[in-house]
Structure 1
Amino acid sequence: MTNLDALIDVAEGRGYRVLWHRRGPKAAWLPRRHAVTLQVGMGDADTLCSLAHELGHAHYNDPPGHFGPHEIRADRFAAKLLVSPIDYAAAEALYGPHHTLLAHELGVTVKVLKTWTTLYERQTA
Structure 2
Amino acid sequence: MIDALIQEAECRGYRIRWHRGGPNAAWIPTQRAITVQDGMDDATTLCALAHELGHAHYNDPPGHHGMREIRADRFAAKLLVSPTEYAAAEALFGPQPALIANELGVTVKVLKTWTSIYERNAA
Structure 1 residue aligned with 2:68, among 56, 67, 70? 70
1:46 lines up with 2:44 in the alignment: yes
Distance in 2 (CA, whole Å) between partners of 1:100 and 1:60 is 29
Distance in 2 (CA, whole Å) between partners of 1:119 and 1:37 is 27
Structure 1: which 4+ aligned runs deviate by more than 3 Å?
none
Q: For residue 111 of structure 1, what is the aligned residue in structure 2?
A: 109
Instruction: Flag structure 2 segments of 5+ consecutive residues without an equivalent.
Output: none
Normalising by structure 2, what TM-score? 0.99
Normalising by structure 1, what TM-score? 0.97
Aligned-residue sequence identity (percent) comes to 72
1:53-92 correspondence runs (5 A)? 53-92=51-90
Instruction: Flag structure 1 segments of 5+ consecutive residues without an equivalent.
Output: none
Deviation at 1:114, TM superposition (A): 0.1
Q: For residue 100 of structure 2, what is the aligned residue in structure 1?
A: 102
Distance in 1 (CA, whole Å) between partners of 2:97 and 2:21 is 30
Describe the SS at the equivalent of 1:94: helix
CA RMSD of aligned residues (A): 0.5
Q: After superposition, what is the alpha-carbon deviation per residue over 1:34-82, rounded to whole angstroms, capped at 9, x for unaligned?
A: 0100001100000000000000000000000000110000000000000
Deviation at 1:101, TM superposition (A): 0.1
Structure 1: which amino acid aligns with 2:68? H
